[in-house]
Chain A
Amino acid sequence: MASQGLISDFEQMLGKENVFSSEADLQSYSYDSAVLEPVIPSLVVRPTNSEQLAAAVTKLYENGIPMTVRGSGTNLSGGTIPDKSETVVILTTGLTRILEINSNDLYAVVEPGVITAQFAQEVAKSNLFYPPDPGSQAVSTIGGNIAENAGGLRGLKYGVTKDYVMGLEFFDATGALVKTGSRTVKCVTGYNLAGMMIQSEGTLGVISQAILKLVPPPKASRALMAVFDNIQNAAEAVAGIIAAHVLPCTLEFLDNNTIVRVDDFTHAGLPREAGAILLIEVDGHPAQVEDDAAAVEKVLKENKATAVHIPKDAAEKFKLWEARRMALPVLARCRPTTVLEDATVPRSQIPAMMKAVNEIAAKYKVEVGTFGHAGDGNLHPTFLCDKRDKEEYHRVELAIDEMFDVAINLQGTLSGEHGIGTAKSKWMEKETSRGTILFSQRLRRALDPKGLLNPSKLVGI
């Protein structure tokens, strides 16, 4: 618990209704979506404008109190779990204004607590498009998306959050305002500090405002589903699609275990014998979409797809995507604990990675179902277990360790989109180098001399 003095100072600064100190409230900010132990903070504060946010950071800096910034708390790597019991959590959920949507210059200016899907909806009303669509978009915040560099289903064609950040305002550890980037497509004024803040996981500063790029929406889209006997054929089809110079906006796959589990649950009549399903969507100008869909269909057939389904209308298309939408919910229902990973490999290495994942699961006798973004090599091996069974959970941890080794050997990465937090920090050096860790730590210490911003996250400080 924070001292009474600190509590009343914050109450004065932010209003009583924005300072949470009861035990019940503190408990509810002790966790996020990562499978990690909770840590209860000493105080939770909710600034409702930039000035208050600056004042809160300054106050904590002056008192040498560690701080964790929190959006919706849906990250999967422990980024918002307080570092220690003295930590004060700063909520961005009171900073929810969309300040500008500019359809002439194709950008928007938002506060960090704006919810991703609500923002995308507002943008759509101006007939514009904000493509990053993490699976959590109905609840995640833009600040959290930037601080994690969130990806989504549309990554292959449209890129990820970093491709849409034109500029940022943030407060450094001392509470000083930093501005970087601008409302212009081109801007080389000073360091690209916005680039540094992207995927910084609350360790370098507190984002208070973002200028985001918008694009014209595609006029048409077309979905296809293809069934394959094995993952190798599916992967060759993916390579074939890219080689045919078609860039689908989404290119998703489900493995056999996921297909069977989803079919058990939905009785949708999925091909239970299939080694893999690919779900593909092309979008753009109507004529282009027709051409692309035809080209994709041809490649699929040439690459031993045993069946290709093309939905006739919106209802059928919705149904087709049901299998993908249900993948995580269904897997999550199988066992009490769901460990959702996001090891990512170069596209061509998907078969090798999938083979390794399944062999490792068999070796450690753990259940895994894999689905993911075949277009960009971002896999979601999902381990199903019961954390209360210590022995089983230990086997899951060993399996995940080994899986990361394979991903790194295949020149892939630990995390395509879920971040490092505390969950994956121990593997950082393996993928990068000792020098990378030291460089990052020196950078942090220079910018945050008291080591207050999410100190134990990422590389530590």
Chain B
Amino acid sequence: MDSLTSLAQRLMALDDKLTDCMRCGMCQAVCPMFGASGMEADVARGKLALIGNMAHEIFRDPDALSDKLGRCLLCGSCQAACPPGVKIMDIFRESREVVHEFLGLHPAKKLIFRQLLGHPKLFNLAMSVGAPVQKLLFRSSNDRQGTVCAPMLDFMLGDRHIRPLAKQSLHAKYGFLDESRAPNKLQVAFFPGCLGDKMYTEMSEACIKVLHHHGVAIYMPDTFACCGIPAVSSGDAKGMLNQLSCNLALLANRSFDYLVTPCGSCTSTIKELWPEYAERLDDTSARVAKSISDRTMDINAFLIDVLHVEPKTPKEGAVKVTYHDSCHLKKSLGISAQPRTLLKANENYSLVEMNEADRCCGCGGSFNLFHYDYSRKIGQRKRDNVVQSGAAVVTAGCPACMMQLEDVLSHNGDPVTVKHPVELYAETL
């Protein structure tokens, strides 16, 4: 009964934020989940109503609530479009945390989020064993994206066309990197993110190449933990705090000028959630997290706003490229111009806009794991827009989006490749 009472109390604390929702329903226009299911319980208005009823103890089925809350990509599209500016993401995170604390994490998720991601050494070990072994499990799906499908892992992966893990992870290749600053030049901490470390290593290497080209020194320890967003999304505050402490220890007392990441989700987590969660650790951590947050930048924004990379006019016969606005970049951080400018820095490409460029691609991190059918349905709309644009390359500033784009394009057999804007810029150097 105690846990129930504390649950109710924490939900009561949400009441103020919840009453800001005027039930206007405008979030229906942008919600990818609602777009796919058409069910009111899937749109922010419906979820907020459920959470509100829970707080008022009308609603007594936390399992169903948890299930409903999970039908969400945490993409923030609703919050960005919400007329009265309801703090929807805070409410969703907080209620997920509360509900999951109450229900207890699913054992498998507990293992992944708390053990593996929280203990980088263990995670890295598991992955390095994974890479050679997976050759036996995956077969190539013969497509432009270089993904593989995994018939033997069907029970776990469904019909995903995901790319294989890198043969060698970034941290294994570079080890503990700590370059010293050249005179009058910058040093950045480079946070590749899990996908940048283990899957999209060529993207991360493009970032390193570009930074070096501009004379920027890099600090990149080989034991970064996950940024924590998967744990937060499943309501696992403990897992997040674990990973956060780990990362703060690596970043405290370091004099880098900026922390840059090629992953929109990592950037928004570091900027927005680290300071908030660090307050639950201790004063010092809170101070460190705040100082890191202030210095954190998306790599596209860093290249344009700090290093002043200039756009060029596309050459005759340039390859058409289009850009997908990742939710965490555009809706959380307001970054949409810089990646486009960066694409224009390579004159061999010409930027064409797709329809609904800022509509969610449907990945949503662990949403993709648990609601693959909806994820695919939402992704199909994105795919249609990409293909309609006529572009040969689609870019996104977040490897999670890249993974989703590769999956849907591959399933449709489309000859469109998926890249990070930095990769195209790196081609010019």
Contact = CB atoms under 8 A, between A and B. Distances in A.
Q: State yes or no: do A and B come from one complex.
A: yes
Given A24-B68, A31-B49, A136 B83 contact: no
B180 interface: no
B133 to A, nearest CB: 39
B29 A138 contact: yes
A139 B20 contact: no
Interface string A12-51: 0000000010111101111111100010000000100000
B50 interface: yes
Contact of B25 (A46, A94, A139, A336): A139
A28 B16 CA distance: 20
A134 to B, nearest CB: 12
Interface residues of B, number: 28
Contact of A336 (B19, B26, B68, B83): B19
Contact of A139 (B19, B28, B49, B61): B28
Interface stretch (B36-44, B255-263, B304-312, B381-389): B36-44
B23 A32 contact: yes
Contacts of B38: 46, 93-94
B147 to A, nearest CB: 30
B46 interface: yes
A38 B59 CA distance: 13
A328 interface: yes
Contacts of A337: 19, 22
* Chain B at the A interface: SS class: helix
A329 interface: yes
Given A28-B46, A46-B38, A328-B83, A72 B25 contact: yes
B64 interface: yes
Interface in B46-71: 46, 49-50, 53, 59, 61, 64-65, 67-68
Contacts of B29: 117, 138-139
B39 A20 contact: yes
Given A24-B59, A27-B49, A136-B24, A73 B40 contact: yes
A117 B46 CA distance: 22
Contacts of B46: 27-28
A365 interface: no
Nearest to A36: B23
A388 B12 CA distance: 13
A333 B59 contact: no
**Most central of B23, B45, B46 by chain A CB within 10 Å:** B23
B25 A22 contact: no
Nearest to B18: A336
A338 interface: yes
Contact of B49 (A28, A136, A332): A28
Nearest to A22: B64
A199 to B, nearest CB: 20
Nearest to B38: A93
A22 to B, nearest CB: 6
Contacts of B83: 328-329, 332
A290 interface: no
B104 interface: no
B24 A25 contact: no
Contacts, number: 81
B230 to A, nearest CB: 24
A25 B41 contact: yes
B20 A336 contact: yes
Contacts of B64: 22-24
Given A23-B61, A27-B59, A386 B19 contact: yes
A387 B15 CA distance: 12
Contacts of A24: 41, 50, 59, 61, 64-65, 67-68
A90 to B, nearest CB: 14
B84 interface: yes
B39 A25 contact: yes
A73 B25 contact: yes
B292 to A, nearest CB: 29
Given A23-B59, A24-B50, A72-B28, A33 B22 contact: yes
Contacts of B59: 23-24, 27
Contacts of A32: 23, 25
A209 interface: no
Contacts of B20: 333, 336
A242 to B, nearest CB: 31
Interface in B244-268: none
B41 A28 contact: yes
A74 interface: yes
A25 B59 CA distance: 11
Interface string A205-244: 0000000000000000000000000000000000000000
A333 B46 CA distance: 20
Interface in A83-136: 93-94, 117, 136
B146 interface: no
B49 A329 contact: no
A138 B68 contact: no
A46 B39 CA distance: 10
B415 interface: no
A74 B24 contact: yes
Contacts of A46: 38
Contacts of B67: 24
Contacts of A74: 24-25
A434 B24 CA distance: 33
A421 to B, nearest CB: 14
B85 interface: yes
A407 B371 CA distance: 52
B41 A333 contact: no
A73 B16 CA distance: 23
**Most central of B22, B41, B67, B68 by chain A CB within 10 Å:** B22
A338 B84 contact: yes
Contacts of A33: 22-25
A329 B84 CA distance: 5
Nearest to B68: A24
A390 B64 CA distance: 32
Interface in B62-113: 64-65, 67-68, 83-85
Contacts of B85: 329, 333
A388 B20 CA distance: 12
A98 to B, nearest CB: 16
Nearest to B82: A329
Contacts of A94: 38
Contacts of A20: 39
A332 B84 contact: yes
**Most central of B25, B49, B68 by chain A CB within 10 Å:** B25
Contacts of A136: 24-26
Nearest to A76: B24
Interface in A312-343: 328-329, 332-333, 336-338
Given A27-B59, A329-B85, 11 more contacts: A20-B39, A24-B50, A24-B61, A27-B49, A28-B45, A28-B50, A73-B25, A74-B24, A74-B25, A139-B29, A336-B20
Interface of A: 20, 22-25, 27-34, 38, 46, 72-74, 93-94, 117, 136, 138-139, 328-329, 332-333, 336-338, 386-388
The 9 residue pairs across chains A and B that have the minimum distance between CB atoms: A332-B84, A28-B46, A329-B83, A138-B29, A28-B41, A336-B19, A28-B40, A74-B25, A24-B64
Interface of B: 16, 19-20, 22-26, 28-29, 38-41, 45-46, 49-50, 53, 59, 61, 64-65, 67-68, 83-85
25 contacts: A22-B64, A23-B59, A23-B61, A24-B41, A24-B50, A24-B68, A25-B39, A27-B50, A27-B53, A28-B49, A28-B50, A31-B49, A33-B24, A74-B25, A93-B38, A138-B26, A139-B26, A139-B29, A332-B24, A332-B84, A333-B85, A336-B19, A336-B20, A337-B22, A388-B19
